[in-house]
Structure 1
Amino acid sequence: MPDDNPTPDEVWALLTRVVMYSRDPWRRAAVERTGLPFSRIRVLRRLRAAPLTVTELAHAAAIDAPAATVAVNDLEEQGYVVREVDPTNRRKKLVSITTAGRAVLAKALATPDPAPDSVNALPADDLRALRDILSRIEH
């Protein structure tokens, strides 16, 4: 029986497990739909807002710098990103997403992501309560 006074960390751990473990079908479908490994989709998502250096990109995508370099090289060969000299510091290069990169990312993000069976099985009252709680904590 669960503790009647769970800590925020316990609840957070449960919430992230539920979400992360249920996303595998969506990830596989996005990979199939775009032909890109999911790691490349994740890199493109991080570049959506603004250009980043490879080091910044590695940090944002939670990968090491060599893996980020490999990903950028691959995406650049496919025309999904470009490297350009940083106008504020000519020693650095910024990686930017291209129009083609935005298109393939949009294709990945448009991949249907239906709720898992465990969520579909919840009664309407539970769904409303869960939605309301998550809406309150959404950033």
Structure 2
Amino acid sequence: MSHDPQMATRVWHGMRALVLDRYDRRKEVCDALDMSFIRAKALRRLAVAPLTMRQLAAELSTDAPYTTLVVDDLVRRGMVVRDVHPQDRRQKTVTVTAEGEKAAALAEAILGEPPPPLRDLDPVDLATLDRIVTALTR
């Protein structure tokens, strides 16, 4: 089957514009939590499971010094705790607190809210888009 590269590019640009330009919820998350998006992203990752500082840096695609600054701020805010790793005393494990879990849940709720054009799609079109997005993200 032959594909139209211009159409693929147009669709990609449209998807990016929809998600990253017109309905980018990152600022809303930052305003709601009164923190940078990288801190909110760290909380969201840590709400899934505790991570070592090294693992968190890899998840965030940040270097060790910047990850330390992010975690230090989250510790000051009472959103995470940092403890010595039980099997390797040279490593630190970061765990989200109850307050951090609440903030992460709020961030997830904001980020998970579909924009009006998506909610208002015809049900048949929405089902088609769901099938396509599911195939693309497999």
TM-score interval for Structure 1 and Structure 2 normalised by the shorter chain: 0.7 to 0.9
Relative to its length, the structure with more helix (as a share) is: 2
Q: Distance in 1 between matches of 2:94 and 2:23?
A: 28
Native 8 Å contact 1:80 1:97 kept in 2: yes
Q: Distance in 2 between matches of 1:102 and 1:122?
A: 33
Q: What SS does structure 2 have at the residue aligned with 1:106?
A: helix
TM-score normalized with structure 2 length: 0.78
Native 8 Å contact 1:52 1:94 kept in 2: yes
In structure 2, the residue matched to 1:113 is 113
RMSD over aligned Cα atoms: 2.6
Tell me the CA shift for residue 125 of structure 1.
Answer: 3.5
In structure 2, the residue matched to 1:84 is 83
In structure 2, the residue matched to 1:20 is 20
In structure 1, the residue matched to 2:3 is 5
Native 8 Å contact 1:54 1:68 kept in 2: yes
In structure 2, the residue matched to 1:96 is 95
Native 8 Å contact 2:53 2:67 kept in 1: yes
Structure 1 runs of 4+ aligned residues shifted over 4 Å read 119-124
| CA offsets 1:78-110 (integer angstroms, 9 cap, x no match) | 110111111111121101111110011112222
Q: What SS does structure 1 have at the residue aligned with 2:115?
A: coil
Aligned length: 131
Percent of aligned pairs with the same residue? Answer: 34
Tell me the CA shift for residue 121 of structure 1.
Answer: 7.2
Q: Distance in 1 between matches of 2:120 and 2:98?
A: 40
Q: Distance in 2 between matches of 1:61 and 1:16?
A: 23
Letter in 2 for 1:101: G
Distance 1:23 1:97, change over 3 A: farther
Q: What does 1:66-85 align with in structure 2 at a 5 Å threshold?
A: 66-85=65-84
Tell me the CA shift for residue 65 of structure 1.
Answer: 1.5
Tell me the CA shift for residue 33 of structure 1.
Answer: 1.2
Tell me the CA shift for residue 64 of structure 1.
Answer: 1.7
Letter in 1 for 2:3: N
